[in-house]
Structure 1
Amino acid sequence: MKEIEIKSTLQVYNSLEETTDDIQGLMKQAMQIRDKAYAPYSEFLVGAALLLDNGEVILGNNQENASYPSGLCAERTAIYYAGANYPDVPVVKMALSARSLKHQLITPTPPCGACRQAIAEYEIKQKQPIEIYFMGETGKVVCSNSLANLLPLIFDKSYL
């Protein structure tokens, strides 16, 4: 038997104000679109703002459905829109903000597993990492310089 150690490195900012102006602007857009999410069942709102290499910003939020698995997360809403409308333009940065209508959420909230897989697919396709910044409603902001830090053993087309 051989043991393998997997290490991820993340940067943690104490508040949004500690980040650069461009990240603050991107995160504020994620917060604004977050508050327009359609989440009547979970009351958990998520917003995503993607900065593309051409300067375009793509926004997405979670969209729920009474048939729960049929909804779509903010991250995939935004990244699939980018892929459909800007198929050859790399995603450079992604800002995510989550908010619960049931309690104050101050814990940085990373993408779910399905969204991590979708983001991984785009990193592989574009052959460059996507910086991912995530936070709750307020508080700390976490940065990963690549999805590989959040999903180190990705499933890709090499397994097919």
Structure 2
Amino acid sequence: MKEIKIECTLFIFDNAHELPLDAFKLMQKAVEARENAYAPYSKFHVGAALLLDNGEIITGNNQENASYPSGLCAERTAIYYAGSQFPQAKIIRMAISAGSQKNQTKKPIPPCGACRQAIAEYEIKQEMPIEIYFMGETGKVAKSLSLSNLLPLIFDKSVL
């Protein structure tokens, strides 16, 4: 038997104002998208913003449904729209902001597992890492240089 250690490296900013200007502006777009989320059941609003290599900024927010599995997360809403409307564009950076109407979210909230898998597909497709910034409503912001850093044991087409 052999033990393998897997590590995740994140960069932590005390708040969004410490971000580089381009990342700060993208996070502002994610916050705006979060405010328009449709989350009447969970009361948990998420916004995502993508910067594409063609300069386009795509936003998305979570869309819930009384039939819970039929809803869609903010990250996948944005990434699928980008893939549909700009199929040749590469995603350079993603910003995510999440907030609850029940409790104030003060710590960075990363993408869920399903969103990580969807983002991974695009990172593999474009053969280029996607820089990901994520936060709650306030407080610290985490930065990952790549989705593969957040999902190290990736499931991809090589196993099919």
Unaligned runs of 5+ in 1: none
How much does 1:118 deviate?
0.2
Give aligned-pair identity as a percent: 68
Quick one: distance in 2 between partners of 1:108 and 1:20?
17
How much does 1:107 deviate?
1.1
Secondary structure class of the residue paired with 2:114: helix
Size of the aligned set, in residue pairs, is 160
Structure 1 residues 115-157: Cα deviation after superposition (integer angstroms, max 9, x where no partner): 0000000000000000000000000000000001100000000
Amino acid at match of 1:142: A
Quick one: distance in 2 between partners of 1:16 and 1:33?
16
Amino acid at match of 1:127: E
Amino acid at match of 1:63: Q
2:98 equivalent to 1:98: yes
How much does 1:8 deviate?
1.4
Quick one: distance in 2 between partners of 1:98 and 1:3?
35
Secondary structure class of the residue paired with 2:142: strand
Query: TM-score, normalising length from structure 1?
Result: 0.99
Query: Which residue in 2 is equivalent to 1:112?
Result: 112
Report 1:3-152 matches (<5 A): 3-152=3-152
Quick one: distance in 1 between partners of 2:46 and 2:19?
20
Unaligned runs of 5+ in 2: none
Quick one: distance in 2 between partners of 1:13 and 1:148?
20
How much does 1:26 deviate?
0.4
Quick one: distance in 2 between partners of 1:150 and 1:8?
7
Amino acid at match of 1:58: I
How much does 1:87 deviate?
0.6
Structure 1 residues 65-117: Cα deviation after superposition (integer angstroms, max 9, x where no partner): 00001100000000000000111100000000001001111010000000000
Q: Runs ≥4 in structure 1, deviation > 6 angstroms?
A: none
Amino acid at match of 1:143: K
Quick one: distance in 1 between partners of 2:95 and 2:8?
19
Q: Alignment RMSD, CA only? A: 0.5
Secondary structure class of the residue paired with 1:154: coil
